[in-house]
Amino acid sequence: MIIVKNLKRYYGTGKTAVRALKGVSFEIKKGEFVAIMGASGSGKTTLLRILALLDDATDGEYTIRGLEVSSLPEAERSYYRLTQVGYVFQDYALINEMSAAENVYILSMMEGKSRKESYATALEALDKVGLKDKHNRIPDELSGGEKQRVAIARAIAKKPDILFADEPCANLDTTNSKQVLDVFKELNEKYGQTIVMVTHELWHTEYVDRVITLEDGNLVSDEIKRNREE
């Protein structure tokens, strides 16, 4: 589903250039739940942002379902972000002036669905993360874990091909982290959702199928934790 070949990302030029990714290659199959791990500064967040089309690679190829997406013009990237890719930010990134449901259904409206249809989609997504009864709450009225679940609902409401999550539990305690990871696991197992999650917590790998480890901008290991076909 995702093919990454020799992906590089440099910040700056010449001798002072920072090489965040030095040529990373891997493939991710449909329905896989993959964790990208590594120490701080290893390039894992940079890689995720490029995969989610939030940043550009300096060099290399990146295709989703055979489509070379890294060279798409901004308008098409925007459409791709809206329809094919879900992204969960570390700090939730919810719009504070919108309720949980509005944060979710705005994307369905952007896709051209009616307000009623969008609202139903949002409630369905919030139901999946266990927050249907709190659809009218604004982010300030929700706990950290609940905010992150709303962010997940926003990401999955449009039923994206791939869900990217950038350290989704970084700001959460263990209980809330488990809740979020359980949601991911259920999405992956029940709905076959492809998930790529950046994390630095070792215990999170218990939930995933595969762990890709980066070190200093290089891919140093690609370990299968659980074979889905077994």
Residues at the interface with another protein (CB under 8 A):
49, 52, 54-55, 75, 78-79, 81-83, 85, 87, 89, 93-98, 102, 106-107, 109-112, 115, 138, 154-155, 158
Closer of 155 and 197 to another protein (Cβ):
155
Question: What single DSSP character describes residue 63?
Answer: E
Minimal distance, residue 122 CB to another protein, in Å: 12
Minimal distance, residue 135 CB to another protein, in Å: 14
Q: Crossing angle, helix 174-191 and helix 144-157, to 10 degrees? A: 20
Distance CA 64, CA 1 (A): 6
Closer of 75 and 229 to another protein (Cβ):
75
Closer of 91 and 124 to another protein (Cβ):
91
DSSP letters, 67-116, are EE-TT--HHHHHHHHHHTEEEE-TT----TTS-HHHHHHHHHHHTT--HH
Minimal distance, residue 49 CB to another protein, in Å: 7
Closer of 85 and 214 to another protein (Cβ):
85
Distance CA 109, CA 46 (A): 30
Minimal distance, residue 110 CB to another protein, in Å: 5
Phi-psi sector, 15: left (phi>0), alpha (psi -120 to 50), beta: alpha
